[in-house]
Amino acid sequence: QSVLTQPPSGSGTPGQRVTISCSGSSSNIGSNTANWYQHLPGAAPKLLIHRNDQRPSGVPDRFSGSKSGTSASLAISGLQSEDEADYYCAAWDGSLNGYVFGTGTKVTVL
C-alpha cells in the first residue's frame, strides 16, 4: 500500500471545480516537493504539476497545485469531459529512499 493517500474517486459536472487531496508524511511531502500526473485510459501518464505548484508548458491553467505541511492538493477548475482520468500525486520519500505514488483518484465528469 502507498504511503501517499488519495480519495479513490471524485466527480463533478462540466464547469465545476474538483479538488483532489494527497496525504503524506514528514518523510515525503513534508520535506520534498509534490508532483501530479494525469493518466488517461490507454495512454501514458502525463505530468500536470511539478514542485508543488508549477505547471509545465502546455498544461491548461485550469489545473493548479498546492502544498501545506504534509499534504498536497490538485484543483481542476472548469471541469471538462476530457479531464475524466486517473490522477496520481507523487513525491520522493527520504525514509524509503524512493519515489512514491499516491493511491490514485478516478475523476468522473457527470
Question: Which residue ranges make up the site for other proteins (CB under 8 A)?
Answer: 2, 31-33, 35, 37, 39, 44-47, 50-51, 56, 86, 88, 90, 92, 94, 96-104
Residue among 13 and 41 whose Cβ is closer to other proteins? 41
Residue 22 in contact with residue 4, Cβ under 8 Å? yes
Residue among 77 and 86 whose Cβ is closer to other proteins? 86
Residue 105 in contact with residue 10, Cβ under 8 Å? yes
Cβ contacts of residue 34 below 8 Å, gap of 6+? 22, 24, 49, 52, 65, 67, 72, 89, 90, 91
Residue among 66 and 103 whose Cβ is closer to other proteins? 103
Please report how close the Cβ of residue 43 comes to other proteins at its closest, in angstroms. 8
Could you tell me how many helices (H) and strands (E) the chain has, helices first?
A: 0, 9
Please report how close the Cβ of residue 81 comes to other proteins at its closest, in angstroms. 23
